[in-house]
Amino acid sequence: MNYWLMKSEPEECSVDDVLAAPDATVPWVGVRNYQARNFMRDGMQVGDGVLFYHSSCAEPGIVAIARVASGAYPDPTQFDPTSPYYDAKSKREEPRWLLVDVQVLKKISNITLPTLRERPELADMLVLKKGNRLSITPVEAPHWKAIVKAK
């Protein structure tokens, strides 16, 4: 079992949007970064733990505990010319972009970035590193436990 942190812009897809969806599950559309894609393709398994993170908003932070709810499969938005995620260079017979389904298990009170930074045991988390822009990062088990256990 592995653990991950996944960023979502709440204006795009907030934790409440996910909770309003059937089974509190959504396809994680729009990842257009190879490293993040490879984490989904090669690293994730159904049942992996996910820290659901709100980014590019007033109070960035971890807002829910979630889980990986499917294996990786092609992101349909890459083939949709009307989608902002459309990729003209991706072919159906050889999809460039993948996604997984993510299911929110429990909404938590926002653990904000400043709060995360206050905790020395979390200092090594990739999401806290300067210059980090990856929308999906692996989370080490001790970090996961430190965050989830407190809830």
Chain residues binding DNA by CB under 7 A are 7, 9, 32-35, 55-57, 60, 113-114, 130-135
In the complex, least distance from residue 23 CB atom to DNA, rounded to whole angstroms: 25
In the complex, least distance from residue 75 CB atom to DNA, rounded to whole angstroms: 14
Enclosing H/E stretch for 35: helix 34-38
- Please, which residues have CB within 8 angstroms of residue 36's CB and are 6 or more apart in sequence? 134, 135, 136
C-alpha 97/C-alpha 4 separation (Å) is: 19
CB-wise, 23 or 38, nearer to DNA? Answer: 38
CB-wise, 21 or 134, nearer to DNA? Answer: 134
In the complex, least distance from residue 21 CB atom to DNA, rounded to whole angstroms: 21
Q: Cβ(64)–Cβ(111) under 8 Å?
A: no
In the complex, least distance from residue 131 CB atom to DNA, rounded to whole angstroms: 2
In the complex, least distance from residue 66 CB atom to DNA, rounded to whole angstroms: 17
146's torsion region: left (phi>0), alpha (psi -120 to 50) or beta? alpha
CB-wise, 10 or 27, nearer to DNA? Answer: 10
CB-wise, 12 or 23, nearer to DNA? Answer: 12
CB-wise, 78 or 135, nearer to DNA? Answer: 135
Q: Any idea which residue has 């909770």 for tokens?
A: 19
100: burial class by Cβ within 10 Å (0-12, 13-18, 19+)?
A: buried
Backbone angles phi, psi at 97, to 5 degrees: -115, 140
